Each structure stands twice: as C-alpha cells, then as structure tokens.
Amino acid sequence: MPLDGAARPLNSLGFAKPESETRVLVAMSGGVDSSVVAALLAEQGYDVVGITLQLYDHGAALAKKGACCAGRDIHDARRVAESVGFPHYVLDYENVFRDAVIEEFADSYLAGATPVPCIRCNERVKFRDLLATAKDLEADCMATGHYIQRKIGPNGPELHCAADPARDQSYFLFSTTPDQLDYLRFPLGHLPNKDATRALAVKYGLPVADKPDSQDICFVPEGNYASVIEKLRPGAAEPGDIVHADGRVLGSHKGVIHYTVGQRRGLGIGGLEEPLYVVRLDVETRQVVVGPKEMLSTRIVPVREINWLGDRPLSAQSEWEVSVKVRSTRPPRSAILRPLSETEAQVELLTPEEGVSPGQACVLYETGNSRVLGGGWIWRGNNRG
C-alpha cells in the first residue's frame, strides 16, 4: 500500500489502482490474438469481461471457415472464457454491421472503388458502438488483439506501428480518434512476432492455441467479392465493353464488379502484343478501361475524411513531410501532405505508385518514426501528376 499522501504507482494499463479494481472489456473475435489478450490480463489480476460480436447470419457463418466473428469463433471465444474463468457475452450486432459496413461496401464497389471494410468495421462498430458498450459496463478501458502500439507522448497517447512489421495493423486502424485512443489498449503490439503470441496461448492452455489466422473479409467467402455484391445488389453484374485507353473496344465483360484497378490476369483479351492492366472503371458507361502499366503510375493522391493524430492541427502548416501507405501490403513511401481543410488534403508521392485506387486508405506516418499520424480515404481515380 502507498504511504499516506503518496501517489499509487500506475498499473500496466495506466491506472492508479489495483488490477482487481480495474475492469477491462476485451473484444474477443474467437482467434488466438484476442484470446491471449484476455488470458494475459486475467493472469495479471484484472477484472476481465469478454465480449464477442455476432456480425452476420449465425447459421451461414457456421459453414464458413477462416473468418472472424463467425459461429465457430463465437464458440471458441466462449470456450476460452470458460477455461480462463471470466464472464463472456455475445452481442447481436448484425443490423449495425450491415448498415455501417456491408451496405457501404456494396455501394462503393458498385461505384468502381476498392473498399476496405475492415477499417470501417473498426471505426464504426468496434471502436464506436462496442466502445460505448464498454463504458456502459463501467469498464476502465477496452483491450483488443490488434498488432499496434499505444505510447504515451508529451501530449498524451500516441498511435505507433507494431514492433513486428509483418504483423503491423496500423493501416486498418488509422481512423482511431484521440478520444478512442485514450480508452483503448493493445497488449500485443510490443511482441516480436506471432510465434510469441502462440507461445503465450500454449502457456495459458488456450483451446485456440493452434487455430489458423483468419484470411478473408468475414462476410466475403473465399475472397469472392463479386458474388457477395450480386447477392446484395441483384442485377449489379451488367455486361459492358473492355475498352483500351485509346478508345479501341477490345472485348466484353460480365460486370464491372468483377474487376479492380491494377488487375492484369483474367481480362479475357489475350493475343495482344502489350500486357494490359485495368486502369479505370467507368460505372456510368459500364466500361472497363485498360492500358499499359505506366498508366497506373500515380503521383498526386486526393484524400478526404482525414483523421489527424498529430500534435498540432492539420492546417497549422501548408505542407507536411510524411511517409504514406496507399495499400496495406506496401511499405511507407515519402510524400508531401498539403492540407486543403482539416479533413481534406492532397498527397504528393515523391516516388509514383502503381494501382492507387479510390476507396483505399492513405495512411500517414511520421517520417523516420513508428508514429501513426492518421490518414484518410482516396476518393478520386488515377492522378498521374
């Protein structure tokens, strides 16, 4: 016990009170990562409450492997809670998930964009609605199994990349707001690799220790976006022409929704001398526009809906030297960020990127540092600059 008048030292989650009096809501997907978070915090003596979200049809989910928040995953999360010994609840978020994530996914895809629904799920479901539920349950904080780090800087909590670049999920969490970051905790972000997480799962005797990682978007079986869109928007797969950028009609297609910017294979227009790539999708005319690889090269990227996590306002200066990711699988590249307002900017890539597509995120990083400065959504097509 601290002496009278002396400040109690902070526990590992940053609270000046005993672990047993610190309630933590753990968002449990049923996978090994969030299960380890729950077991780790329970071992440390925290008052852990596990919550799993049912995000889409339970019956259909039971037949699908390799996706989070499905029926099997709910069962696995419950088994972990029972084995470790903390309360676990399942919340029906099907309607919320459909309205906040799936419907926009369908509309964006139909508009020729390449959406990233996992970002919207974190932003609109997990870090908004579930976080509000955590506060209703009087939890002091909410913990997740994401591979990202929360560090305390001179101006408060900062978002940083995970210690393991191969597991880093900062691209999918750029829209985390300062208020959310104040409440969230990410206990796995400092681990050196996924093997360390699985070693902890074995140590705690978790029934999911050997469970494979989920690969697909949870509501997109086998990564087949087009089949999902056709179910959500009957008649969406209307045929049209495959057109060269110079105006030549090269063939026909069975629907714009079957194509993405940067695609080369499966175009059905073989026999040409030059390799061609999808450079633009024109939904109005139902045209898939193709051209040589150099047409994919983009230098100027328009970004909106910016979530800014810097210490000073975005508009505090006319230019920011940053590093950016325009796809989750690519390393950060040097760029100049030019604010147009507090939520909109133009990003100039110092080295042009290929396959920059509307609907993708543009995530901003402090140059030479692991800090995430926020990000926004790419909203117009190829700007070669």
Catalytic residues: 121, 218
Cβ atoms 53, 134 nearer than 8 A: no
Q: Are 259 and 251 in contact (CB under 8 A)?
A: no
Torsion-angle region of 249 (φ positive above 0: left; ψ -120 to 50: alpha; else: beta) = beta
Here the tokens at position 137 are: 């349950």
Q: What number of CA atoms fall less than 13 Å from residue 143's CA on the CB side? A: 29
Tally helices (H) and strands (E) across the chain: 10, 17
Q: What's the CA gap between 164 and 41, in Å, rounded?
A: 21
Q: Is 272 helix (H, G, I), strand (E, B) or coil?
A: coil
Cα gap 51→319, rounded to integer Å: 42
In the chain, the largest separation of any two C-alpha atoms, in whole Å, equals 84
Answer yes or no: are the C-beta atoms of 263 and 278 closer than 8 Å: yes
Per the annotation, binding residues are: 27-34, 53, 145
CA separation for the pair 48, 35 (Å, rounded): 12
End-to-end CA distance of the chain: 63
Name residue 184's beta-bridge partners: 142
The CA distance from 183 to 204, in Å, is 26
Tell me the CB-side half-sphere exposure of residue 319, using CA atoms within 13 A.
5
> Known binding site for ATP: residues?
27-34, 53, 145
Q: Which residues of 171-191 are buried (b: 16+ CB within 10 A; e: fewer)?
A: bbbbbbbeebbebbbbbbbeb
Check: CB of residue 226 under 8 Å from CB of residue 260: no
Q: Which residues pair with 53 in a beta bridge?
A: 91
Contact of 361 with 372, CB cutoff 8 Å:
no
> What's the rounded Cα separation, in Å, for the pair 46 and 84?
12
- Residue 301 corresponds to which tokens in the numbers above? 């990227």
